[in-house]
Copies of this chain bind each other. A is one copy, B any other.
Amino acid sequence: MDVLARIESALDAALALGEGRGCPPKLAAAMRHAVFPGGARIRPRLCMSVAHACGADDAALVDAAAASIELMHCASLVHDDLPCFDDAAVRRGLASVHAAFGERLAVLAGDALIVLAFQVLPAAGVRAPQRLGRLVTTIGMGAGMPLGIVAGQAFECEPRVSLRDYQRAKTGALFSAATAAGAEAAGADGAPWRDFGDWLGEAYQVADDIRDVAADPALLGKPVGRDEALGRPSSASELGLDGALDYFEQLLGRVIESIPPCRGAAQLRALVRSEAERLIPHAAYADRARVAA
């Protein structure tokens, strides 16, 4: 099975775990709407790639870790789209959860997805209880306090915040959790893998800022220019578009350098390069060179 098919199947199994007899059908539908169809699934792909690079021996636990990370990401999108935050009616080209199911079911779907992100772990971790404890800790840190994605979102409610802290928490934390969880699901130490996820998350956030001011709305799947409209910290507004592109290139270098020595390093570098091209196509740099010449 290819990696994307494996991720979709792991997510389907995770949702099925919650769809027991008697469950409220609208909530179940809202949760599925939040998870399918997905975006690029970069976080679970990253988790699985690191697990593979660390010589994973427990496919069920790797699937569960990858699904957990993606469920947490989907939960954050559902709550970020709520009227009190971004008030976004569209997500990935479709109605956002609250636009399709109402605000109450959107709040509850996010809540239930957060819970499900933990529920999937013990179901798969019976043979490796020591790994389970590390995974719960890692996913908790990526999601919650003090510096997970929920904390990152809360920085928007603070009067002053450094752009770096905001981006590291809002995006980097779950990338870092994805790489550490991949290693831990394989029975390896997650700590050496955190920098890789951290830098990649920061690069991803900068790319998102660049795309927010520069991209075609049809490609992004959400309206363009929202960061500025919402007064959110953004590297594109802080550094300018050119400065942000330079910064993105620097970050990519750091991402590549931070891959720990392992037998899967070459594959991970290839994943990073294809992801970078998907986020900011080389055409963007070429345009800039032409304008500068």
Contact = CB atoms under 8 A, between A and B. Distances in A.
A25 interface: yes
Of the listed residues A28, A133, A143, A147, the one surrounded by the most CB atoms of chain B closer than 10 A to its CB is: A133
Nearest to A23: B146
Given A122-B136, A145-B19, A115 B150 contact: yes
B140 A119 contact: yes
A167 B199 CA distance: 47
A27 interface: yes
A207 to B, nearest CB: 24
A115 B144 CA distance: 6
Of the listed residues A19, A122, A146, A158, the one surrounded by the most CB atoms of chain B closer than 10 A to its CB is: A146
B158 A24 contact: yes
A44 B55 CA distance: 41
A233 to B, nearest CB: 13
Counted per complex, copies of this chain come to 2
Interface band, chain A: 35 or more
A107 B84 contact: yes
Interface in A91-138: 102-105, 107-108, 110-112, 114-116, 118-119, 121-123, 125-126, 129-130, 132-134, 136-137
Nearest to A161: B24
Interface string A21-35: 111111110010000
Nearest to A141: B119
A151 interface: yes
A145 B114 contact: no
28 contacts: A18-B145, A19-B145, A21-B146, A23-B145, A23-B151, A27-B151, A27-B154, A31-B145, A75-B111, A79-B107, A79-B108, A82-B107, A85-B107, A104-B154, A105-B154, A108-B154, A111-B111, A112-B148, A112-B151, A112-B154, A115-B148, A115-B150, A119-B136, A119-B141, A121-B136, A129-B129, A129-B130, A136-B136
